[in-house]
Amino acid sequence: MNFQFIFTVFAFAAFLLGISYAIYSYVRLRFSRERLRLERRLDAITAENAKLKSNPSDSLPFSTIPKLDAWMKRYSTFVWLYESIQRLKWSIHTDQFIFLVAGLFFITDWVLIKLGASFLLSSLFSFSVASSPFIYLMVSLSERQTKLERQLPEILDFIARAMQAGHTFVSSLQMAANDSQEPIASEFQKTFQEISFGRSVQDSMSDLSRQIDCAEMRYFAVAVFVNQEIDGNLASLIKGVAKLIRERLRTKMLLHAMTGEARASAWILSVLPFVVALIMFVVRSDFIVLLWSEPAGRTMVGYSLLLMFSGIFWMQRMAKIRV
């Protein structure tokens, strides 16, 4: 019996099943009925003012070099990078960030090659070093998003109480922005300034829902849109949205605590093989070097990594519960 062939078929089937499930999960989430209905609602409400809106990226200083600035604005990746840097309020241009990443890669690669490292090893390590700014960017965005989601119900309660006290919706936005903390204070302050300078409430709230990209903020925007169309007690509606958001956050925190053991197990099982391999390399390098010096060893490493990544993917999917 050819065990290597059976093992190869099993590994390929597991990998294919994982990829298929990932694609299915993304499509189901991206094109779900609730999300499509919400997007149609937002598009229908803002369709009347769509011609008056200008593309913010047309005037964004991606680079101090005009030709490079015009070239970078053509690609959505650079637009996303610029918007991410602006959300974090970093005093750096998009091209400077790209040059920093490229500089880290080439300098690290040159130093390692001068020290005698192989081309493959130096390239892999240089890629890891060069990706550190992107990792830091993503971590900072995640922390900012978490703060925004936690601050949102508090600022909505403030707006509802201010409106119940007799203030208008626009003045309540200003009061809430002045009494709130960053990062949500600057976002609501920007929305208040846009409305004060003559921009419609619908357009300003649409931009705010894009800046605070979460389902809770979209609920608030839809509530304001509905009130603009049919009128009613907006203060009570906002208070109800704040209560809904707070319940969702409480459920998320509960699920986060309940899945802590599974997430810790996933991290330990993911890191442990590499730690053991490093210890073995230090203690008995002649023993573990066979894994990449012999064809059979390289085959075993390839299959093992494939199965490890499949297992890590499934463990993360099991520990991640959407609310």
Residue where a domain terminates, one of 202, 229, 257 = 257
Domain-located, residue 228: yes
pLDDT at 113: 80
State whether 263 and 253 are in the same domain.
no
Q: Summarize pLDDT for 186-209 with one digit per residue, the tens.
A: 888 888 888 888 777 778 888 887
pLDDT band at 44 (very low <50, low <70, confident <90, very high): low
pLDDT band at 319 (very low <50, low <70, confident <90, very high): low
Domain-located, residue 142: no
State whether 240 and 265 are in the same domain.
no
- Here the CATH number for the domain that contains residue 244 is 1.20.81.30
Residue 232 is part of which domain span? 147-257
pLDDT at 260: 76
- Residue 137, pLDDT above cutoff 80: yes
pLDDT band at 323 (very low <50, low <70, confident <90, very high): low
Domain-located, residue 25: no
Domain-located, residue 229: yes
Residue where a domain terminates, one of 242, 257, 272 = 257
pLDDT at 235: 80
Domain-located, residue 206: yes
pLDDT band at 54 (very low <50, low <70, confident <90, very high): very low
Residue where a domain terminates, one of 235, 257, 279 = 257
| DSSP codes joined into one string, 225-293 | HHHHHH---HHHHHHHHHHHHHHHHHHHHHHHHHTHHHHHHHHHHHHHHHHHHHHHHHH-HHHHTHHHH
What is the pTM (predicted TM-score) of this model? Answer: 0.60
pLDDT at 56: 42
Which one-letter DSSP state was computed for residue 188? H
Give all strands (DSSP E) within the chain, no chain letters: none
State whether 164 and 246 are in the same domain.
yes
Domain-located, residue 127: no
- Domains contained in the chain, number: 2
